[in-house]
Amino acid sequence: MTLLVIFTEGGSLSGYGHVTRCSALYDEALACGLDPRFVVNGDEEVLRVMGDRRVELVDWRCEAFVRARLTPESFAVVDSYLADREVYGWISTACRRALYIDDNQRMAYPAGVVVNPSLYGHMLEYPQTPGVSYLLGPQYVILRPEFRQLPPRIRRTEVQRVLVTLGGADVLNLTPMILRALNEHLPGLEKHVVVGPGFNNLAEIQSQVNDRVVLYHQPDAARMRELMLACDLAVTAAGQTVHELLATGLPFVAIEVVDNQAGNIQALKSMKSGVIALSRVELSEKTLSESVVGLADGFADKPEALVDGLGVRRVIEASHFTPGLFGSACSSNEQGIHFYNASIEDAELLFRWRNDELTRTASINQGVIQFEEHLAWLEKSLADSSRRVLIASLGQVPLGTIRIDTSKGETEFSWTVAPESRGKGIAKRMLKQALAFTHGRVVARIREENVASQKIALASGFSKIQVENGIGLWEKQNGE
């Protein structure tokens, strides 16, 4: 099994956001056949949060330690606010591929994959650095398995229960204040309050407990899911929990608790329904109670469905961590690529691929296409019974597209690989699998300077039969 080492931090004082989302990566990696291990800069309380996962507690920001834990064939994940650029450099050079989870553009990262799995990641302008690729935005939000494939929410006609959850540690001592405001302004509601392992204010919280308040001490992920599905509203810190709330469709008030939540607050403020976001300067008992009452008055309005629970799978697949996935050693994994028929909903994706500079340089038509022109072409193509526009994907990650035109006993192929998937043998695999359901004479027209596509055609059994105006005509009698 291929080793995956996850370097992160967390504990009773700093909270558990990093270890929680990295636990989801650990579990998905294990399911994909990797050998994941945690190295955590934290205290003993982390071991309870981690369950039976393999964990080593140590301050790992040391070159000798990093190089002792990694091999040239291993993978690494780094989720840290403490490690500096030098540490990331050690990790990058000590393993086969490194993935860096980033929330706020901490630094210029070394070679590897940068993931900003947040509501605002796609809004940030990251530098285009050789050797660095990016996975940005809510489609890469990393959720625990318990928050995937959720049942439909049972919606009531009026608010009955509110969930209060401030994460693993109530660093600003907000829970007593929240309870006090809810007890005063919404006394009839049931208050379901999560007490994390790092809470040191239990006495103050208990002073606000009455017959409408229930405390839950250190609930696991399954219990948290049950609470989110059972409650009607939530008051939460604006960290990882907001992603789980969005996945469950629970309206909520989000509070900025630490600086790194400012981006989430900004993104949540732009949402049109079901969410109210309060920065630290906006937070008071008055604004909190007004926000909860406001949500209660219109709580039938659900939050936007930004998080679908598949982000962790997309991260693993797009980072190419699955053993042998793009190598020759594991041919059985070639079945991982699947095709689906393009639809009008794929217009923006195909438009982005089509107008990529390298794609245009290799294309027969090298001009920039306007979106209206592209949309008209796609609508016409989808209505044409002699044409198929297919999108290749690995899990939920789109990799490229193949257009197949059939006319007079001849089939013509044209293919494009997504810019972020280049250099991994994707085009050759797409072509091989597409040829499996095509019969007879197959042709492809390839620009003479497009050496990469000519090599793919040769490897797939095509031969060049003529050249006209700088365009080569390649053919293959399928079945040879």
Residue 12 belongs to a domain with what CATH number?
Answer: 3.40.50.11190
- When divided into structural domains, the chain yields a total of 3
Verify that 171 and 233 share a domain, yes or no. Answer: yes
Residue 188 and residue 122 share a domain: no
Among residues 101, 147, 107, 98, the alpha carbon closest in space to that of 121 is found at 101
**pLDDT for res 7:** 98
Question: Does some domain include residue 293?
Answer: yes
Residues 350 and 464 in one domain: yes
pLDDT at 40: 96
Q: Which CATH number covers residue 353? A: 3.40.630.30
Q: Could you tell me if 267 and 365 lie in one domain?
A: no
One domain for residues 272 and 395: no
Judge if 289 and 342 occupy the same domain: no
Walk across the sheet containing 161-165 and list its strands.
213-217, 190-195, 161-165, 233-237, 252-255, 275-278
Looking at the fold, whether 43 and 152 belong to one and the same domain comes out as no
**133 and 152 within one domain:** no
In a domain, 160, yes or no: yes
User: Rounded to whole angstroms, how far apart are CA atoms 358 and 457?
Assistant: 18
Query: Is there a single domain that holds both residue 278 and residue 246?
Result: yes
Q: Which domain holds residue 194?
A: 148-297
Is 321 part of any domain? no
Same domain, 139 and 160: no
Which tens digits make up the pLDDT trace of 293-337? Answer: 888 887 667 788 788 888 888 888 788 776 433 333 222 233 457
pLDDT in the model for residue 323: 44
pTM over the 0.75 mark? no
What tokens appear for 387 in the block? 């044409």
Residue 95 counted as domain residue: yes
Q: What is the pLDDT of residue 324?
A: 37
- Residue 302 in any domain: the answer is no
Q: Which two tokens stand for residue 421?
A: 């998937």
Q: List, for the chain, all residue ranges whose pLDDT scores fall below the cut of 50.
A: 323-335, 480
At 33-45, the pLDDT tens digits run 889 999 999 998 8
Distance in angstroms (rounded) separating the CA atoms of residues 250 and 153: 8
- pLDDT for 7-52, tens place per residue? 999 987 777 889 988 999 998 888 778 899 999 999 988 888 888 8
- Among 119, 143, 167, residue at a domain's last position: 143
What the block records as the tokens of 208 is 């606000």
What is the model's pLDDT at position 479? Answer: 58
Q: CATH no. for residue 229?
A: 3.40.50.2000
Asked if residue 237 and residue 268 are part of one domain, the reply reads yes
| Residue where a domain stops, chosen among 85, 108, 143 | 143
Both 200 and 273 in one domain: the answer is yes
* pLDDT for the residue 422: 83
Q: Looking at 128, 143, 158, which one is the last position of a domain?
A: 143
